[in-house]
Structure formats: structure tokens, C-alpha cells
Amino acid sequence: MRPLRAAALVAICSTIVALVGCSSRTPVTPGQIPAADYVTPEDEAYGLQVLAALSQRYPIEQNDQEVFRVRDLIERLAHTAGAGSSPWNVYVLRGDDVVNAAATRGNFVFVWTGMLNTAYTDPELATVLSHEIGHVLADHTQTTPDEEASHIFADISGNVASSVVSTQGMYGGLAQLAGILVSEGIKALIVNPEVQRQELEADHIGLFLMADAGFNPNEAIGFWTRLHEEHENGSSSLQFFSSHPATLDRIAALEALMPQAMARYEAACDAARPAKKRGKRPVAQVGDSFAVGGTRP
């Protein structure tokens, strides 16, 4: 590595490290789905402020078919988790180049159109949404709405930085990477053990949640494997510039839990069969407890 480039990279990373903080929460045991907290007016105000920040850059999508697809899956997963007593606010944000989703305090869920174009089937999308619900149930949120929005923007920019590394190389794209990092004040691009712990925790919460909701948990393995093959080149440098664990690492962690998750899935299927014979939907209906775009359609 040339001395000038090395010094520049160290300076960038040092700045990020100074911005990254670690918090300590009680870990969620694999197989456990945390109990949902009732949403307070303060929680809802928090979520609305995050929405306002995100929608300034990414317009709210008005396509009913896409919104209802997300809404219906959130409804099914939330009720399976026992988290349907408070409204869930579902927003699709326009950004075909953003393969991302997020959820935050106040039961706000954000899905970019790029993710909807990537998750071809409902089980694949359920993989993503159950992960995001896992973040909410485990209270993986930032202290203020501004910090939460910054964290989400940083995650998106981390994916952009990963793309720069994979196409231009670690040092060939250094100037462009510096611009990305500084422009966002990035907190989440550096490998932060607490952030990565939370991501893996949301993965295993989501795996068991989708299994309990009647989605084959093997779909999660297939989805992450396809995402790895289509969007990553396997370079270890990609993990450095992302808040998320390397995809192969998260796949390995999910595979280790698969026997337990499959047992939960088979139990959910067995419980649903009598309801199907009676011609009834095997998942609970929700009535007016869900909001789409802020209001019930």
C-alpha cells in the first residue's frame, strides 16, 4: 500500500471509529421471540420523524399493489409474534437501486422498491420483513430520530461503498469512498461488533418468526445465498465497509439453527391444517390495527 493512500485510509477509518458507539443489551436467546412493547405516543412521534427524514430523499411509493404486499406480510408476521396490539405503519419508498428495508420504534417499517424487485416471492420478502420486525422487538433503535435516520442512510451508503470496492478495488476507489464516508458522517460503515451482533440477533429472531408464521425457514438460506451470488463478489473488503455481517457468515449462523427452526415450522404447519380443512385462513385477522401509509385504506 502506498504511504499516502495508507495514511488517508487510516484517517478515514479513525474518524468513523470515533463516531461509532457500542451499547450493551441483554442478548436474545436463539429460538426466543421477544415480547412486543405497546407503542406510546412518543414512539409514534419518533417513527414519524424518521419517516420525514427518509422521505425527503426517497419519495413514498403510491403503488397499492406493492404497499399491500408488504402490509399483508407484516400483518401475518406481527400477529404470529404477538405484536398486533399496536398499529404497524408500513411505507414503501421509491428507490429501485436501494436493496434495503428498515424498521424502527413506533412499529414503522420501510421497504425500498429495490428490495421488492429483488425478493421475488413472499417467503423471500418475509425473510427480510421478519428480520426487520426482529430489530423492533429486540429494541435495536438509536437514541434519537436523527440518529436513527442517519444509521439507515449509513447502511444504504455502506452498500454503495461496498460496490465501489468491488468494482474499483480497495485503493483505486479511495477518493470516491472518502466522499461517501464524509458526506454521510457514517457511523455504520465500519465493522462495529455491537451493530453486527444486533444484525445476527435480528436474523435468528426473524428465522424463528417466519417459521412460526408458516414460511419454510430454508427460504431464508436460499434468499441470502442468491443475494450473495448476485450482489457480492466474495471479497472480504465488502464486510469492512458494511454494518452487516458478511453474507456467508450469516448463512452459516442460520444453517446452524435450521434443525430447530424446521421443527417450529412443521409444528406451525400441523397447527394450521385443521383450519385449512374448515376453509378458514390459518392466521389471525387484524381489522383496523394496521396502518398503511399512515392510514387504513
pLDDT value for 168? 46
pLDDT, tens digit, 9 for 90 and up, residues 37-49: 899 999 999 999 9
How far is it, in rounded angstroms, from Cα 162 to Cα 166? 6
pLDDT value for 279? 52
Average pLDDT over residues 223-243: 60
* Percentage of residues in the chain having pLDDT higher than 90: 48
pLDDT, tens digit, 9 for 90 and up, residues 146-195: 888 888 887 776 554 444 444 444 444 444 434 434 444 444 444 467 77
How far is it, in rounded angstroms, from Cα 296 to Cα 287? 10
Sketch the domain layout of the chain as residue ranges: 36-273
Average pLDDT over residues 43-65: 94
Is 132 within 8 Å of 105 (Cβ atoms)?
no
Residue type, 203: D
Work out the pLDDT band at 68, boundaries 50, 70, 90.
very high
What would the DSSP string read from start to end of 82-125?
Answer: T--SS-EEEEEE--TT---EEEETTTEEEEEHHHHHH--SHHHH
Give the mean pLDDT of the chain: 76
How far is it, in rounded angstroms, from Cα 146 to Cα 158? 18
Question: What sections of 101-246 are H helices per DSSP?
Answer: 113-118, 122-137, 145-168, 174-184, 193-212, 218-231, 237-240
Question: What's this model's pTM, rounded to 2 decimal places?
Answer: 0.73
pLDDT value for 69? 95
Contacting residues for 259 by C-beta, under 8 A, at least 6 apart: none
pLDDT value for 147? 85
Q: At 290, is the secondary structure helix, strand, or coil? A: strand
**Helix (H) or strand (E) segment spanning residue 292:** strand 290-292
pLDDT value for 132? 95
Average pLDDT over residues 20-40: 79
Contacting residues for 132 by C-beta, under 8 A, at least 6 apart: 101, 102, 103, 109, 202, 206
pLDDT value for 236? 37
52 alpha carbon, distance to own chain's centre: 19
95 alpha carbon, distance to own chain's centre: 16
How far is it, in rounded angstroms, from Cα 41 to Cα 174? 44
What's the Rg (C-alpha) of the chain? Answer: 19
Q: At 271, is the secondary structure helix, strand, or coil? A: helix
Pairing label, strands 290-292, 108-112: unpaired
